[in-house]
Amino acid sequence: MYDSGKIITGLIIFLVLITFPTWYNLVQGKASYVPELKIVTKEKECIEPTPYMRANHTELLTLWRESVVREGDRVYVGAGGKKYIMSLQNTCMNCHSNKTEFCDRCHNYSAVTPNCWDCHIAPKEKT
């Protein structure tokens, strides 16, 4: 191979460019952007602890849907033993009332399109 030096140099440059975001974040020690979510509520805590809700809220909402629609069970007992009505609009949206500032920011950041509003009425935004 007559051009092996050029090929190896090109591969090294390619690998550096492809892995640059990872190395950049490792050097800085943090991710570059995380959306800031605004919660306007009187409640001090959610139905489950915050780390659980961040990781598993879709599974929880799916569980609620299955329980309410298929089994007729409408009461959920949270981590602290407190009972909640399983309702997206009447329980979740009481605290997370600003869909644009809360739901949409995180879903846009994660590049996901939930199907909640296919069945539920999207809340009116307060201006």
pLDDT (tens digit per residue) in 11-24: 999 999 999 988 88
24 and 57 part of one domain: no
124 found inside a domain: no
CB-CB contact of 99 with 39 (8 Å): no
15 and 57 part of one domain: no
108 and 67 part of one domain: yes
CB-CB contact of 89 with 120 (8 Å): yes
Indicate the number of domains in the chain: 2
9 and 63 part of one domain: no
Q: Of 105, 100, 97, 110, whose CA–CA distance to 36 is shortest?
A: 105
Paired strand residues for 85:
75
Predicted pLDDT of residue 126:
61
Task: Tell me which residue range forms the domain holding 26.
Answer: 1-32
Give the residue carrying structure tokens 């950049």: 24
* pLDDT-flagged residues of the chain (< 50): none
114 and 63 part of one domain: yes
55 and 114 part of one domain: yes
How many whole angstroms separate alpha carbon 41 and alpha carbon 38? 10
